[in-house]
Amino acid sequence: MRGARILSTGRALPRRVVPNSDLASVMDTTDEWIVQRTGIRERRFVEPGVGSAELGVLASASAIEKAGLSPADIDFIIFATLSPDHICPGNGVIVQEKLGMRNVGALDVRNQCSGFIYGLSVAEAYVKAGIHDRVLVVGAEVQSTGLDMTTRGRDVSVIFADGAGAAVVGPCEPGRGILSCHLHSEGKYKKELMVDAPSSLDPHRVTHEMVDSGRHFPYMNGRYVFTHAVRRFPEVIREALDANGFTLEDLTLLVPHQANLRITQAVGSALGLPPEKVFSNVERYGNTTAASIPIALDECVELGRLREGDLVCLAAFGSSFTWASALLRW
Ligand code: UT7
């Protein structure tokens, strides 16, 4: 069987930079609290009228161009987001239309922070099986339009942010590229991090009560999520290394989902990895959920942090709970 590798990456960040001081002007929080508890100093928010599909289209166009391809070369689209433009249809078809692609399949992935790795695993399988040659994997979010920007929502709203990243996956020789992906879920924790409404469980789907009580805003049991994250990240990273017969010493770079700098640091020290082997950009972009890993990958490429032959591990943990890793020979 042939291998599958990331041929190129792209990213799209809104131009509007929102420093912590902007949030402190609308809710009871401080720059000091946010930096100390999350490491975040600023994030990007879209201008009104820009949705996650548009950011995804921009990131995709960049990734496709960097691969030396045109949109017509893409055989399949995978779009991961928790903040689609619409409940229905999904964002994948919007990328197909906006980039003028052929009438290829467009799959929408809803695994929140793990969404990009879940999507990558599908691309890996299609390419390795010889079903598709060029698969586009997108992670994009517009969270800013769905956050409670009052003191009631401060624990969640200071973290989440907008952005998009994309990768084109194509064939390579066996033993290179995506070596394996490892996906997990534990749905009994769904209430610890969720957006409860609108809901098909409700006879009216959307009600004034939902909006008045803030059930359409994300709820997160932060400490609880934190505790699980710092356990599951190391576990799933070790799983990826073990599955391929590598040890932590073999790892060149860990690119984790950018949830919170404290989580990233705790994971790095639990694994005994020196800080230079753990990538972080949460300081500048906040937590962009499904977009954080492809944005980070694109920055790593640009910064020369990823060189041919490097052993790279991607890892994520988030809502539901779901968690995942991917081991790559770059
Ligand atoms: O993307 C993947 C899923 N998400 C995550 O992985 C996030 C996981 N969780 C976290 O990152 C952290 O739990 C948070 C950053 C959300 C919160 O940090 P924490 O250190 O766990 O704080 P806490 O929730 O325990 O709250 C500590 C205090 C509380 O006050 P009291 O009860 O001690 O008086 C909160 O009310 O900080 C208060 N607080 C704030 N204060 C100022 C909560 N949010 C804020 C805020 N500004 N924005």
Ligand 1 binding pocket includes 223 (Cβ within 6 Å): yes
Place of tokens 């960097």: 66
Ligand 1 binding pocket includes 158 (Cβ within 6 Å): yes
200 and 164 within one domain = no
186 and 307 within one domain = yes
77 and 151 within one domain = yes
Residue 243 identity (one-letter amino acid): A
Per-residue model confidence (pLDDT) at position 1: 87
107 and 209 within one domain = no
Per-residue model confidence (pLDDT) at position 226: 97
275 and 206 within one domain = yes
126 and 14 within one domain = yes
Question: Rounded to whole angstroms, how far apart are CA atoms 186 and 317?
Answer: 11
218 and 299 within one domain = yes
83, 122 contact by CB (below 8 A) = no
Per-residue model confidence (pLDDT) at position 323: 98
296 and 186 within one domain = yes
Per-residue model confidence (pLDDT) at position 79: 98
Structural domain for 63, as ranges? 3-175
- Domain finish residue from 107, 141, 175: 175
Q: What is the token pair recorded at 295?
A: 């944005």
- Measured from the Cα of 289, ligand 1's closest atom is 1
- Measured from the Cα of 157, ligand 1's closest atom is 48
Question: Count of alpha carbons within 13 Å of 41, Cβ hemisphere only?
Answer: 4
- Domain finish residue from 159, 175, 191: 175
CATH of the domain at 245: 3.40.47.10
Question: Rounded to whole angstroms, how far apart are CA atoms 127 and 133?
Answer: 6
182 and 167 within one domain = no
- Measured from the Cα of 222, ligand 1's closest atom is 13
For residue 34, report the distance from its CA to the centre of ligand 1, in Å.
9
pLDDT above 70 covers a percentage of the chain that reads 100
For the chain, what's the residue count?
A: 330
- Domain finish residue from 175, 208, 242: 175
Tell me the DSSP string of 146-194.
Answer: GS--SGGGHHHHTTB--EEEEEEEEEE-TTSEEEEEEEEE-GGGGGGEE
Structural domain total, the chain:
2
294 and 203 within one domain = yes
183 and 101 within one domain = no
Per-residue model confidence (pLDDT) at position 120: 98
Question: Rounded to whole angstroms, how far apart are CA atoms 111 and 257?
Answer: 13
Tell me the DSSP string of 187-229.
Answer: GGGGGGEE---S-TTSTTSS-HHHHHTTTTS-EE-HHHHHHHH
Per-residue model confidence (pLDDT) at position 235: 98
Helix (H, G, I), strand (E, B) or coil at 242: helix
Question: Rounded to whole angstroms, how far apart are CA atoms 57 and 94?
Answer: 8
Q: What is the token pair recorded at 138?
A: 């997108």
Determine how many CB atoms are found less than 10 A away from the CB of residue 251: 20
320 and 220 within one domain = yes
The answer for residues whose C-beta is within 8 angstroms of residue 194's C-beta and 6 or more apart is 218, 219, 319
Task: Give the single-character DSSP code of 114.
Answer: G
User: What are the average pLDDT values for consecutive 10-residue runs of the chain, which has 330 residues?
Assistant: 97 98 98 98 98 98 98 98 97 98 98 98 98 98 98 98 98 97 97 97 97 97 97 98 98 98 98 98 98 98 97 97 98
**Ligand 1 pocket test, candidate residues 26, 27, 37, 231, most atoms within 8 A of CB:** 37
Strand 105-109, strand 76-80: pairing? parallel
- The model's pTM: 0.97
52, 141 contact by CB (below 8 A) = yes
Q: What is the token pair recorded at 86?
A: 């619409």
Question: Count of alpha carbons within 13 Å of 255, Cβ hemisphere only?
Answer: 25
Helix (H, G, I), strand (E, B) or coil at 80: strand
Ligand 1 binding pocket includes 219 (Cβ within 6 Å): no
